[in-house]
């Protein structure tokens, strides 16, 4: 018997089993930890992708809206240019009728060539009647088209404003990327906002959604200021621009009205065709020509000039004509002694003015001096349009007028976010089975379950911690007692991701060009979070951002 005991003492078989059991436990813990961490990283990547996708989507919508404004503004300019061109036809037709046509009336009695002049006179008369009938209708049609384009601009702005209010149940880009993603509380505090009319959304102040919408509209010339707490009852400035259609309120002395009338008028005048602006052509029948004759006693010069432009007048000018489509074909005769004596000045001996205009007082034909005769047709003037007012004041903070949008998404990872609706705590997300089956629950020594110095007066049970529970959950993400961590768990459910999108104005090779709504070169980008404008929300979401601002006296990185 003693020999058997000695053999058992010397027997080393089975030692590997003990070592294997210990190692397997360590490996199991390591594997579960790796799976837990890996799964958490995967969920974070999906949530961040969803935030990036939504931020970029909103930036694309903003860029498309601005490009739409640019295309429609350019279409308006084309229409104004067409109006000036047809008005040039009228003034040129009046010129032909009063000169070539008048001469043909007398020359048609000449034998042999009389029928030719009679045909010329008839053709000119027919051309004058044609343009006089067509031009008023065409100008009115083009004016109504411009009004329709303006209404389309306002519709685009309103639709984009609504789209900037992110909601996981409405924005497919969020759930397609991450089905479990939720819009964070600071974005939309009114959970039912998507079910109310658009104006009611503006009352949800202090949210990131509201800030995104205001940031989109403050780039507009009549949009809200960046410093304004609200967007006001007219966030796009439509009511201000609409006053252009009211003759009594459309005053050049009003800065809001002057900027639109002068800007669009200058843009239209800048792109006139050569024939519209000056109109070179053959002698006698062209819009611009010059003729010089050397006589015995001196030199004669006949100059034919032309002009077509949009003019803007103050309310004190001739009963408030407002804006005017103006076209002129003028003749001036000058003489001077001798021939080729360039040091002698010309003297004007005769002038003829063939001018037409369309304005708020039914326009006119002007033929001699300042006498305006023969009413032409009315034109209400420059129609409303959307333009920009980019800011270069404090460009680092205001991003050179570029609109930004912040997206903050969260995901329920089992943190203390509240209950599931029946009063019970939400189930933990990871290794959920271990917690339900009470695996190794309450199997610890209880060493830290009393108010000892090690626990600093707080027991584990009071803090909700149970010893020896092999379960890696998100219940204490961000810290156990930190106030920020408690708020973070309540609002986010344990995980959060943020992203910033930006619509930028970029013409390749022209980086110094000021952003505007006349060139459709707006594009979308993702932007650094640290440079974002919403400091209040950003300071809550990232405490280090707030600390860095205090540390560097307001200079953030």
pLDDT per residue over 363-388, tens digit each?
Answer: 998 876 677 888 889 999 999 999 98
| Phi, psi angle pair for 191, to nearest 5° | -65, -25
CA-based max dimension of the chain: 161
pLDDT-derived band at 420, boundaries 50, 70, 90 = very low
pLDDT-derived band at 266, boundaries 50, 70, 90 = very high
Give percent of the chain above pLDDT 90.
30
The per-residue pLDDT for 6 is 67
Tell me how far apart the alpha carbons of residues 423 and 312 are, in angstroms, rounded to a whole number: 70
> Is it the case that residue 471 has pLDDT exceeding 70?
no
Tell me how far apart the alpha carbons of residues 414 and 120 are, in angstroms, rounded to a whole number: 92
Nearest to 528 by CA among 393, 400, 399, 410: 399
> Is it the case that residue 443 has pLDDT exceeding 60?
no
Tokens of 58: 């909103």
Residue 76, classified by CB atoms within 10 Å of its CB into exposed (0-12), middle (13-18) or buried (19+), is buried
Tokens of 288: 């611009």
> Is it the case that residue 480 has pLDDT exceeding 80?
no
**pLDDT single digits (tens) 6-35:** 666 666 666 677 777 778 777 776 766 676
The per-residue pLDDT for 447 is 55
Nearest to 263 by CA among 222, 317, 302: 222
Residue 217, classified by CB atoms within 10 Å of its CB into exposed (0-12), middle (13-18) or buried (19+), is buried
Length of the chain: 557
Q: Which of 76-80, 103-107, 535-539 has the lowest mean pLDDT?
A: 535-539
Compute the C-alpha angle 103/107/108, nearest 5°.
Answer: 115
Q: Which residue has better confidence, 116 or 551? A: 116
CA distances 437 to 32, 469, 475, Å, are 16, 11, 18
How much is the pTM?
0.80
> Is it the case that residue 395 has pLDDT exceeding 60?
no
Tell me how far apart the alpha carbons of residues 411 and 543 are, in angstroms, rounded to a whole number: 20
**Mean confidence (pLDDT) of the chain:** 79
Domain ranges of the chain: 264-378, 431-470
């Amino acid at each position: 018997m003693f020999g058997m005991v000695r053999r058992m003492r010397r027997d080393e078989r089975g030692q590997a089993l003990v070592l294997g059991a210990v190692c397997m436990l360590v490996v199991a813990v390591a594997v579960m930890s790796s799976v837990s961490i890996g799964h958490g990283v995967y969920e974070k990547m999906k949530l961040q992708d969803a935030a990036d996708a939504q931020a970029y989507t909103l930036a694309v919508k903003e860029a498309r809206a601005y490009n739409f404004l640019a295309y429609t503004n350019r279409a308006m300019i084309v229409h104004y240019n067409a109006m000036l061109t047809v008005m040039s036809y009228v003034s040129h037709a009046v010129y032909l009728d009063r000169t070539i046509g008048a001469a043909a009336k007398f020359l048609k009695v000449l034998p042999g060539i009389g029928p030719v002049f009679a045909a010329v006179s008839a053709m000119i008369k027919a051309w004058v009647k044609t343009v006089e009938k067509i031009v008023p209708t065409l100008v009115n049609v083009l004016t109504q088209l411009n009004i329709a384009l303006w209404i389309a601009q306002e519709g685009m702005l309103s639709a984009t404003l609504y789209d900037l209010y992110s909601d996981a149940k409405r924005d497919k880009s969020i759930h397609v990327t991450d089905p479990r993603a939720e819009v964070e509380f600071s974005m939309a505090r009114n959970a039912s906002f998507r079910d109310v009319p658009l104006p009611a959304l503006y009352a949800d102040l202090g949210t990131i959604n509201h800030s995104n919408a205001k940031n989109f509209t403050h780039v507009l010339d009549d949009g809200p200021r960046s410093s304004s707490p609200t967007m006001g009852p007219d966030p796009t400035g439509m009511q201000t621009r609409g006053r252009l259609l009211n003759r009594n309120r459309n005053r050049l002395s009003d800065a809001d009205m002057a900027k639109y009338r002068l800007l669009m008028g200058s843009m239209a005048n800048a792109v006139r065709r050569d024939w519209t602006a000056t109109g070179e052509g053959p002698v006698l029948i062209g819009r611009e020509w010059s003729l010089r004759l050397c006589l015995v006693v001196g030199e004669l010069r006949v100059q034919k000039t032309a002009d077509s432009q949009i003019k803007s007048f103050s309310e004190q000018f001739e009963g408030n004509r407002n804006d005017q489509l103006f076209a002129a074909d003028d003749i001036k005769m000058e003489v001077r002694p001798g021939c080729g004596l360039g040091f002698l000045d010309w003297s004007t001996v005769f002038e003829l003015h063939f001018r037409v205009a369309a304005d708020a007082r039914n326009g006119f034909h002007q033929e001699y001096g300042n006498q305006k005769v023969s009413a032409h047709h009315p034109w209400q003037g420059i129609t409303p349009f959307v333009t920009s007012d980019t800011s270069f004041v404090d460009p680092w903070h205001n991003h050179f007028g570029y609109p930004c949008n912040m997206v903050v998404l969260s995901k329920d990872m089992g943190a203390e976010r509240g209950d599931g609706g029946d009063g019970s705590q939400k189930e933990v997300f990871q290794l959920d089975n271990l917690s339900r089956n009470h695996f190794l629950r309450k199997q610890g020594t209880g060493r830290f379950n009393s108010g000892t110095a090690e626990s600093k007066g707080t027991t584990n049970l009071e803090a909700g911690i149970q010893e020896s529970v092999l379960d890696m959950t998100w219940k204490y993400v961000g810290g156990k007692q930190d106030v920020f961590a408690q708020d973070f768990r309540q609002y986010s459910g344990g995980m959060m991701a943020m992203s910033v999108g930006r619509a930028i104005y970029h013409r390749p090779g022209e980086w110094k060009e000021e952003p505007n709504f006349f060139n459709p070169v707006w594009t979308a980008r993702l932007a650094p979070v640290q440079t974002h404008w919403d400091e209040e929300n950003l300071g809550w979401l990232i405490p280090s951002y707030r600390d860095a601002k205090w540390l560097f006296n307001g200079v953030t990185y």
